[in-house]
Amino acid sequence: MLTFIVMRTLQMVPPLFGLTIILFVLLRIGGDPVAHLVHPDATPAEIQQVREAYGFDRPWVEQYFRQLTLIVTGDFGDSYRYRAPAMPLVLERLPATLELALASIAIALVIAIPAGILSAVYQNSWLDVLVTVTSTLGRAMPNFWIGIMLILVVAVQLRWLPVAGRDGLAHLILPAITLGTSLATTIARLLRSSLLEIMRREFMTTARAKGLRYWTVVLRHGLRNALVASVTVLGLQVAWLLGGSVIVEEVFAWPGIGRLMVRSVLLRDLTLVQAGVLVFALIVMVANLLVDVTYAFINPRIRFS
């Protein structure tokens, strides 16, 4: 098991390395960030001076290796916009983003598990139709649209919850619902179909023949198997969730990495973008590692394949 975890962890290194190249290429050939570093009345000579001060005039290869050397030593360079080291700037927003992501997953599970089970058990009933219709609609609507609607109805009309910002639990609910419902639709759908499949399998019939009560069978055998399937999907959904958080953070003024990223991409704050995407990618990779380990733990055969 330990070997598996070590191997799996080592496998994260090449993608991370590839990432630094991709990011550098993507962001460096795009534009010259110097436009954001000077006063609108700056003269051409002043612009050139600032460009040289930041090393934007050096050859790309040199810039890349300089940056890579620093990254290896843990230094991601300074954000030019904040004039402060980039990585701490990203990490100080990590709690906000993780908080939102975890709350969204929690909400998604709270909605999706009962919805998925019930719609499978009561297949083709009104409940099943309701779950299917809602979850399909949820997939078809842009995130920011749901978020703005929630603000208008829940926060402005009904005044049940605060509008925006991050200031205690009440502020977390609306953004987490916005992000969580979209995730819930995916999980509920998968849970339903895998439960249906499992329930059709023979062992369920056998189990029931042994006289086990219906719900015991559904919950103990069916659900456990179905959850394994859901966990795998959850791993794949982490990247999607973080992408969604970019939008949701913008709508709800949630001070997470997503908002920082949008601003930084817009203003070509390269070092911040790089640090941010690396942190995002690490979260995704670690989440997938956890999923794989969990999966290997449940299903030992996978370790040797």
Partner 1 sequence: MNAGKVLRSLLRSPVGLIGALLVVGAFVSALGAGWFSAIDPTQFHLRNRLAPPVWAGGTWEFPLGTDQLGRDIASRLMHGARVSLMVGVFGVAVSTLIGVTIGLLAGYYRGWVDAVLSRLIDTFMAIPFIVLALAVIAVIGPQGGDNITLLVIVLGVSGWIDFARVVRGETLGVVELEYVEAVRALGQNRFWILVRHVLPNVSASIIVLVTLNVASVIIAESSLSFLGLGVQPPTVTWGLMLADGRDHLATSWWLATFPGIAITLTTLGMILLGDWLRDVLDPRMMT
Partner 2 sequence: MTEPTNRTLRRLLILLVLLLAALALPATAFAQTTPGSQITIAIGELPTSLDPPRDWAIASTWVHMNVFDCLIWRDRDTMEFTPFLATSWENVDDRTWRMELREGVTFHNGEPFDAEAVVWTYERIYTAPGGQADFITFNQWTFIEEINVLGPYEVEFVTRTPDPAFLSRIAGTGCGIQAPVAGREMAESGNYTPIGTGPYTFVSYARDDNLVMEANPDWFFGAPEIERVTWRSVPEVSTRVASLLTGAADLISGVPFQDWDRINANDGTTVTEFLTTQVMMLAMRSGANEQFPDYSGPTEDVRIRQAIAHAIDRETIIDVIDGLGVPTLSRMTPPTLGWSPEYYDTYGDYDPERAMELLAEAGYDGEELTFHTSATWINQRALAEVITAMLQAVGLNVNLQIMDTTTFREQIYFPYQNQELYLDALGNSFFDPWIVVLSERSDRRERSGWSGPVADEVDALIRAAAVNMDLEEREAQYQEIQRLMLQEAVTLPLYQMIDAVGTSDRLNWSPPQDGFFWMGNATLD
Which tokens go with 94? 């990590």
Give 19 or 207: the residue with its C-beta nearer to partner 1. 19
Select from partner 1, partner 2, none the partner in contact with residue 109, using the beta carbon and a kind-dependent cut-off of 5 to 8 Å: none
Selected range binding partner 2 among 7-15, 155-163, 283-291, 293-301, rule: CB under 8 A: 155-163
Residue 79 backbone dihedrals phi, psi, to 5 degrees: -70, 130
Select from partner 1, partner 2, none the partner in contact with residue 57, using the beta carbon and a kind-dependent cut-off of 5 to 8 Å: none
Task: Single out the residue of 231, 209, 222, 249 nearest to residue 287, CA to CA.
Answer: 231
How far apart CA 119 and CA 130 sit, in angstroms, is 9
CA 75 to each of CA 20, 72, 89, 130, 283: distance values in angstroms, whole numbers, following the listed order? 13, 7, 12, 52, 19
Q: Please state the closest distance from residue 301 (CB atom) to partner 1, in A.
A: 17
Select from partner 1, partner 2, none the partner in contact with residue 62, using the beta carbon and a kind-dependent cut-off of 5 to 8 Å: none
Near partner 2 by CB under 8 A: residue from 82, 98, 232, 293: 82
Q: Please state the closest distance from residue 244 (CB atom) to partner 2, in A.
A: 16
Q: Name the residue with tokens 């609108």.
A: 40
Select from partner 2, partner 1, none the partner in contact with residue 192, using the beta carbon and a kind-dependent cut-off of 5 to 8 Å: none
Near partner 2 by CB under 8 A: residue from 2, 13, 29, 158: 158
Q: Which H or E element spans position 106? A: helix 94-121
User: What x/- string results for residues 8 through 37 when contact with partner 2 is judged by CB under 8 A?
Assistant: -----------------------xx-xxxx
Instruction: For residue 70, give the 3-state DSSP assignment.
Output: helix
Give 217 or 234: the residue with its C-beta nearer to partner 1. 234
How far apart CA 66 and CA 59 sit, in angstroms, is 11
Cα-trace Rg, the chain: 24
Total of residues contacting partner 2 (CB under 8 A): 62
Selected range binding partner 2 among 102-110, 121-129, 281-289, 290-298, rule: CB under 8 A: 121-129
Is 217 an interacting residue with respect to partner 2 (CB under 8 A)?
no
- Chain residues binding partner 1 by CB under 8 A are 11, 14-16, 18-19, 22-23, 26-27, 29-31, 136-137, 139-145, 148, 152, 156, 190, 193, 229, 233, 239-240, 242-244, 246-247, 250, 261-262, 265-266, 268, 273, 277, 280-282, 284-285
* Long-range pairs, 283-291, Cβ under 8 A, ≥24: 283/98, 283/238, 283/242, 284/238, 284/239, 284/242, 285/12, 285/15, 285/16, 287/234, 287/235, 287/238, 288/235, 288/236, 288/238, 289/5, 289/8, 289/9, 289/12, 290/235, 291/231, 291/232, 291/234, 291/235
How far apart CA 242 and CA 6 sit, in angstroms, is 26
Is 152 an interacting residue with respect to partner 2 (CB under 8 A)?
yes
Residues that bind partner 2 (CB under 8 A): 31-32, 34-44, 46-47, 49-50, 53-54, 81-83, 89, 92-93, 96, 118, 121-122, 125-127, 148, 151-152, 155-156, 158-167, 170, 213-215, 250-253, 255, 259-260, 263, 266-268
